Amino acid sequence: MITREPDWGEGRGLFGGILHAFGAVGRGGVLVFQSIALFPLMLVRGRSRRELFAQMYQAGIRSLPVITVVAFFTGMILALQVGLELRRFNQEIYIGSAVMVALLREMGPFMTGIVLTACVGSSMAAQLGTMTVNEEIAALEMMTISPVRFLMAPRMGAMILMTPLISFYTCIVGILGGGVVGLTQLNVPWGQYITTAMNFGDLRDLYVGLFKALVFGIIITGVSCYQGFTTTHGAVGVGRSTRQSVITSLLLILMTGYIITRMFYDL
């Protein structure tokens, strides 16, 4: 018989569920701040640097094939949908500006967050969850080795460094995809497309997008590692923690993306 841990609020009542949720947020926040505080230490220790580079490879380089396909088709979809509407007013030459602004502000960091949640965050939760149920985390603590320093901090540092870079790469590939649609389906010359994109793209849009990607990377790592460290009930618990990490990360990315946009842009 499969044993299942109660979800938030199940068997606790509404008030108990709310308290449990706030407690989880607090414990997760502590883990995030601890791992970020340990980031400078990884840069001065050779073994920590090697682990950091290994996690950067896992989070960044190995995600590039998926990121490339997603970004290219995202740019194509944006260009096609916006271009069809602009064609009604004979203004399709401005699709470059629409694609550029949409990718820099929202779609670039958002698609980066989604892909990294699926590819990297789920892997973190599953790996740490397996270590937890196999009592490897407890073994580290018995040897006075901090799991946060040894396991979470390199992953947090890698995501902090890689998510803005991947988001920028996503924007570039998406703009290229939009240009392909503009050239082949909307008869917009490549030079005109790039010119309008560069003229309407603002540095503030780029900075806000990179900041969003940075925050998304912290969210993904914090949620995934917390779910991994709190896994129980064997293999069933690993699957549940992995699923919960993906769901929670996506919801927080959506809400945080709106809040950041509202902070930096006046209505």
User: How is the chain classified by DSSP, letter by letter?
Assistant: -------TTTTTHHHHHHHHHHHHHHHHHHHHHHHHHTHHHHHH-HHHHHHHHHHHHHHTGGGHHHHHHHHHHHHHHHHHHHHHHHHTTT-GGGHHHHHHHHIIIIIHHHHHHHHHIIIIIHHHHHHHHHHHHTTHHHHHHHTT--HIIIIIHHHHHHHHHHHHHHHHHHHHHHHHHHHHHHHHTS---HHHHHHHHHHH--HHHHHHHHHHHHHHHHHHHHHHHHHHHT--SHHHHHHHHHHHHHHHHHHHHHHHHHHHHHHHS--
pLDDT computed for residue 188 by the predictor: 87
Average pLDDT, the chain: 86
pLDDT computed for residue 124 by the predictor: 93
- Indicate yes or no: pTM above 0.85: yes
Least confident window among 7-16, 122-131, 258-267: 7-16
Q: What is the pLDDT of residues 140-152, one digit of tens each?
A: 888 888 889 889 9
pLDDT tier at 201, thresholds 50, 70, 90: confident
Predicted confidence (pLDDT) at residue 2 exceeds the cutoff of 90: no
pLDDT computed for residue 3 by the predictor: 33
